[in-house]
C-alpha cells in the first residue's frame, strides 16, 4: 500500500480495492511510505502509476524493479510515478459510416497511435430501453505511429432498423478505452422486391438466400429439382413486414445436383416472381 498526498490535496490510499481520490486513512502496512511526490518521471511523464500492495522500487530490500505497467524503474527511482513514458491513448480524428443497401461501412482515422493492439468493433440495436453492445470484429492496430492511419470495417446483411456503433481500443497491456460514434445509423426499407443468388454456390450442405420487401406482404420460397418437382418449402405464403431477410437452406437430405428456387411475393394485389439456380455438391 502506498499513501501519498499531492500539493493540491489528498490523492488517497491505493491498494487492491482502494481508488485514487479517496481520503487517506491513517493505517499503513510495513512497506508503506508517506510522501509528497513530484509526479515527474522519464520524459516528463506526469501521471502517477502505483503498484497496489507492494513497496516502491528503489527502497532498500524490496526487490521491486518495475512499475505497475511493467516498465523498468529508473535508478534512483522517481517515487510513486511511472518510470517510462506512459503509452498515450489513440488519438481518433474521425469515426464515420456509409450505408449501401443493408450494409454499413465504418471508417475511422487515427492521428497517432502508441502501444495500440487494435480495435474491437461493437454494435447495439437501438430501440430497447438499454443499449447492449456486441462484438462484431477485431481490427488490428498499427502499434506505434505518428502518421494518420485509416481503418475500415463493413457490417453486412443487416435488417431494417437503427444501430449504434463504438470502438473499444485496446493497447498491448490490455488497457482499453471506448470511442463512440456520434448519432445512430439507420437501415431503411428497400425500394423494390428482390431475391439474391444463394451463397455460397455451389454449396454443401447449407447455403443462404437473401430477399427484400419494400412493403408488407406474403412470401413463398420453394425449391425444385431439375424435373420441376418441388422438393423443399422454405416459406409458405407467410406474412412478412417490409425489410431485409436472410434464409438458411440445408440440403443435407438431398442428392447432389442442380436445383431451382422460386420466390413469390404478394403485396397490394401485385405479385412478384423470381427464379434462380443453385448447385448442391456433396
Same domain? 147 vs 113: yes
Domain shared by 12 and 46, yes or no: yes
Tens digit of each residue's pLDDT, the chain (282 residues): 333 333 222 233 333 333 444 444 445 445 455 554 444 444 444 334 444 444 444 444 455 555 545 555 545 444 444 444 444 579 999 999 999 989 999 999 999 999 999 999 999 999 877 889 999 999 999 999 999 999 999 999 999 999 999 999 999 988 899 999 999 999 999 999 999 999 999 999 999 999 999 999 999 999 999 999 999 999 999 999 999 999 999 999 999 999 999 999 999 888 999 999 999 999
Q: How many domains does the chain have?
A: 3
Domain boundary residue among 187, 207, 241? 187
Answer yes or no: pTM beyond 0.75: no
Q: Quick one: pLDDT at residue 70?
A: 56
For the record, the C-alpha cell of 272 comes out as 412478384
Smallest CA-to-CA distance from 205 within 255, 147, 274, 259 is with 255
Specify the CATH number for the domain of residue 165: 2.60.40.10
Question: In CATH, what number is assigned to the domain containing residue 220?
Answer: 2.60.40.1930
User: Which of 63, 86, 109 delimits the end of a domain?
Assistant: 86
CB within 8 Å of 68: residues ≥ 6 apart: 49, 50, 51, 52
What is the pLDDT at residue 63? 56
**Which of 40, 66, 86 corresponds to the end of one domain?**
86
CA angle (198, 204, 209) in 5-degree steps: 20
Q: Are residues 273 and 206 in the same domain?
A: yes
* 39: containing domain: 1-86
Amino acid at each position: 500500500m502506498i499513501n501519498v498526498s499531492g500539493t493540491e490535496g489528498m490523492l488517497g490510499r491505493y491498494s487492491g480495492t482502494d481508488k485514487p481520490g479517496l481520503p487517506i486513512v491513517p493505517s499503513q502496512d510495513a512497506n508503506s511510505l508517506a510522501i509528497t511526490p513530484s509526479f515527474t518521471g522519464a520524459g516528463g511523464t506526469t501521471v502517477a502509476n502505483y503498484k497496489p500492495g507492494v513497496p516502491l522500487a528503489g527502497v532498500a530490500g524490496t526487490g521491486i524493479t518495475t512499475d505497475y505497467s511493467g516498465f523498468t524503474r529508473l535508478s534512483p527511482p522517481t517515487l510513486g510515478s511511472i518510470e517510462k513514458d506512459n503509452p498515450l491513448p489513440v488519438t481518433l480524428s474521425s469515426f464515420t459510416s456509409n450505408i449501401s443497401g443493408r450494409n454499413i461501412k465504418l471508417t475511422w482515422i487515427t492521428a497517432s497511435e502508441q502501444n495500440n493492439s487494435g480495435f474491437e468493433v461493437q454494435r447495439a440495436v437501438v430501440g430497447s430501453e438499454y443499449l447492449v453492445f456486441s462484438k462484431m470484429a477485431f481490427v488490428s492496430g498499427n502499434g506505434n505511429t505518428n502518421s494518420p492511419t485509416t481503418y475500415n470495417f463493413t457490417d453486412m446483411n443487416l435488417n431494417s432498423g437503427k444501430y449504434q456503433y463504438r470502438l473499444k481500443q485496446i493497447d498491448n497491456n490490455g488497457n482499453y478505452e471506448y470511442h463512440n460514434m456520434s448519432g445512430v445509423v439507420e437501415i431503411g426499407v428497400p425500394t423494390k422486391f428482390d431475391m439474391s443468388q444463394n451463397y455460397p454456390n455451389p454449396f454443401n450442405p447449407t447455403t443462404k438466400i437473401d430477399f427484400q420487401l419494400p412493403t408488407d406482404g406474403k412470401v413463398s420460397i420453394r425449391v425444385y429439382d431439375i424435373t420441376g418437382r418441388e422438393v423443399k418449402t422454405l416459406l409458405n405464403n407467410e406474412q412478412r413486414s417490409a425489410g431485409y431477410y436472410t434464409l438458411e437452406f440445408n440440403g443435407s437430405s438431398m442428392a447432389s445436383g442442380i436445383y431451382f428456387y422460386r420466390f413469390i411475393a404478394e403485396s397490394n394485389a401485385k405479385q412478384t416472381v423470381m427464379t434462380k439456380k443453385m448447385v448442391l455438391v456433396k
